[in-house]
């Protein structure tokens, strides 16, 4: 196909949008809403997964060191703990510091009960955090086998609850996203078919006068592609506005964010490029390719 012919067909595609503006507007609305439904579902899934991960990372494991363990062995124990692939933070918490912190929370009467003690009864310990909470039990078992470890205190019940919530959320959002994609594809397909069906006479006439299939398909593809890109731009703008407003709303209370792990919400600037590209790709595929597929049903005359 010559360049001049291709330019002509592209122009016809843009003209077709205006001449069939009612159907074009209907397709624009359907595709925009469909992209928004899927996009918001995916972004919500990403944020909930990250929030659960942020809560998981706060799980603290206390490694109580045997009383009387030599200092060099205590230091070696810390190095062993830091060398574990599932441990990302190791902090030594001395019994002297623990004693000071405990007294800071005591009333004067409670302090009086301990003022005659000549020896600090608290143990030295390590406070560690794990990367993957699903490996917590294995990590705790490994720590219990280390030398000079008296006991290990880990939030196993809480870890199991978080693992269950994460698994349920993963399955739930995967099912919702897949269902929305299927529903949106069906809706867009029907909308595209209705638009093409309304112009079946135009297609039939072009076929009768000898126009090739590609000559007919290209303007329809251009129409669908342009509508898909415009829909993607609108969906992206609406998503950006809504996401930013929600992010600002949660950011007003830092304490609430910290308690519920909402500080892990992803700023839109970090995902804007990926979101925009995804909207554009899916908008063009759903609208442009869908239009061509629907057009081909009327080409065999």
**In the prediction, which pLDDT does 115 show?**
66
**In the prediction, which pLDDT does 237 show?**
92
**In the prediction, which pLDDT does 234 show?**
93
Phi-psi region of 68 (alpha: psi -120 to 50; beta: other; left: phi over 0): left
**In the prediction, which pLDDT does 72 show?**
86
Domain ranges of the chain: 3-55+161-296, 60-154
- Please tell me the distance from the alpha carbon of residue 251 to that of residue 265, in angstroms, as a whole number: 9
* CA distance to 62, 70, 294, per residue, from 79 (Å): 15, 15, 65
**In the prediction, which pLDDT does 254 show?**
47
Q: Which residues pair with 128 in a beta bridge?
A: 61, 90
**In the prediction, which pLDDT does 110 show?**
65
- Please tell me the distance from the alpha carbon of residue 44 to that of residue 166, in angstroms, as a whole number: 13
Q: Output helix, strand, coil percentages for the chain, rounded to the nearest 5.
A: 75, 10, 20
**In the prediction, which pLDDT does 150 show?**
85
What class, spelled out in words, does domain 60-154 have in CATH? alpha beta
**In the prediction, which pLDDT does 5 show?**
59
DSSP string, 61-98: EEEEEPTT--HHHHHHHHHHHHTSTTEEEEEEE-HHHH
The H or E element that residue 60 is part of is: strand 60-65
Rounded to 5 degrees, φ, ψ at 260 are -95, 5
Nearest to 130 by CA among 82, 200, 65, 70: 82
- Please tell me the distance from the alpha carbon of residue 41 to that of residue 278, in angstroms, as a whole number: 13
DSSP string, 231-265: HHHHHHHHHHHHHHHHHHHHHT-HHHHHHHTGGGP
Q: Using 70 as the pLDDT threshold, list the residues of the chain that sit under it.
A: 1-6, 8-10, 12-17, 20, 53-58, 106, 109-118, 184-185, 187-200, 202-203, 207, 210-216, 250-264, 292, 294-301
Measured distance between the N- and C-terminal CA atoms of the chain, rounded to whole angstroms: 23
Q: Are residues 260 and 236 in contact, defined by beta-carbon separation less than 8 angstroms?
A: no
pTM confidence score: 0.62
**In the prediction, which pLDDT does 253 show?**
53
């Amino acid at each position: 196909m010559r360049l001049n012919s291709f330019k002509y067909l592209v122009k016809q595609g843009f003209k077709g949008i205006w001449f069939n503006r009612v159907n074009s507007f209907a397709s624009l609305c359907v595709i925009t809403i469909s992209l928004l439904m899927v996009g918001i579902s995916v972004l919500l899934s990403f944020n909930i997964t990250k929030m659960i991960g942020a809560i998981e990372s706060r799980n603290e494991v206390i490694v109580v060191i045997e009383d009387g363990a030599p200092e060099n062995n205590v230091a070696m124990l810390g190095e062993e703990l830091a060398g574990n692939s599932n441990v990302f933070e190791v902090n030594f918490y001395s019994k002297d510091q623990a004693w000071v912190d405990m007294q800071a929370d005591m009333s004067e009467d409670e302090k009086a009960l301990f003022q005659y003690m000549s020896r600090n009864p608290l143990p030295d310990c390590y406070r560690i955090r794990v990367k993957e909470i699903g490996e917590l039990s294995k990590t705790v078992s490994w720590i219990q086998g280390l030398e000079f470890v008296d006991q290990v205190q880990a939030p196993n019940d809480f870890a199991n609850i978080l693992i269950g919530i994460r698994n349920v959320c993963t399955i739930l959002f995967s099912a919702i996203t897949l269902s929305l994609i299927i529903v949106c594809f069906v809706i867009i397909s029907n909308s595209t078919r209705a638009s093409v069906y309304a112009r079946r006479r135009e297609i039939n006439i072009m076929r009768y006068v000898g126009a090739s299939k590609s000559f007919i398909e290209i303007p329809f593809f251009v129409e669908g592609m342009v509508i898909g890109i415009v829909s993607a731009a609108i969906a992206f703008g609406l998503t950006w506005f809504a996401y930013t407003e929600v992010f600002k709303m949660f950011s007003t209370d830092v304490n609430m964010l910290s308690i519920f792990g909402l500080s892990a919400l992803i700023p839109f600037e970090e995902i804007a490029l990926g979101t925009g590209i995804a909207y554009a790709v899916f908008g063009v595929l759903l609208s442009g390719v869908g239009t061509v597929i629907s057009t081909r049903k009327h080409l065999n005359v």
